[in-house]
Amino acid sequence: MITQLSGGERQRTVLAQALAQDTPILVLDEPLNNLDLNHQLEVMQLLVRLHQEGRTIVVVLHDLNMAAQYCEEILLLKEGKEFARGTPSAVLDPATILEVFKVRVSVHRQGRRPYVTPLWSRAEEKAALEQTTKVHIMAGGGAASELIEELVHHGFAPTVGIVSVLDTDYATAERCGLRVVSAPPFEPYPAEAVVELEELVSQADVVVVAPVFFGRGNIALLRATQTAAAAGKKVLVISNPPLVERDLTGGEAEKLVHQLVSAGALELKGVQEVIDQVISLSRGQ
């Protein structure tokens, strides 16, 4: 009897009954429930083959990655109403998922199929941190990627920039659905990018200077940080590796950082110290 079967066996039996009807349209509600990964893949691959043979397949799924991998079109519901509809790449972006599921994710895009990695759920405490504490990261050259990911993991939504559109830090910020100020590679910062940077810095409570290599092209990051410090913003400077190894400006970057520290900026050794400081500041400690 079907009632004597395990959950997975029952699920496969019900699916087999539905397939045996050989209808042109097949509607399946959570067909992967109670199935192990191997049988989940078998079911989805079977549905793809049936679709290729001409059947219309409608599947209700909660696994976003399974939907992204096998579905040609996704309809995303919020409170029972259509919120987004389109290809997996068009629908599964960080902002949409945050709005619908209250979960911040990073979205990896390799080829035409996105892959979603959950970072944190917007629980009340984390939502409060994000809403009340604004962090801007002076980034570049991949120096801030770990920091960006850790801040997001702890419930913050930092702004980032200015960075090149080819920069790893840019890719990390984009993947997490963050606001990032970008600029063309190997060129001076456009005036509009500098204006946007100044706007974000003016809105931030905390400005973090990542261990960037400073040259003439990005020294504007430190000047904007000085403006932030003069306006009373909390400034955190990651000092490892030592700036002397990263200063390609003939000493100007070292001079600006020294002035920042003299004005009250905190020098910190690494990402964890920054996280601890930001959390402490967000709690008013």
- Tell me if 252 sits within 8 A of 223, measured CB to CB: no
Q: Which parts of the chain sit beneath pLDDT 70?
A: 1-10, 122-131, 285
pLDDT (0 to 100) of residue 1: 46
Pairing between strand 206-209 and 135-138? parallel
Domains, the chain, with CATH or none? 2-121 (3.40.50.300), 124-282 (3.40.50.850)
What pLDDT score was predicted for residue 131? 52
Q: What is the pTM of this model?
A: 0.73
Over the stretch 154-169, which tens digit does the pLDDT of each residue have? 889 999 999 999 999 9
- DSSP string of the chain, one letter each residue: -GGGS-HHHHHHHHHHHHHHT--SEEEEESTTTT--HHHHHHHHHHHHHHHHTT-EEEEE-S-HHHHHHH-S-EEEEETTEEEEEE-HHHH--HHHHHHHHSEEEEEEEETTEEEEEEEEE--HHHHHHHHH--EEEE--TTTTHHHHHHHHHTT---EEEEEETTSHHHHHHHHTT--EEEE-TTSPPPHHHHHHHHHHHHH-SEEEE-SPPB-TTTTHHHHHHHHHHHTT-EEEEE--S-GGGTB-SSSHHHHHHHHHHHTTPEEESSHHHHHHHHHHHHTT-
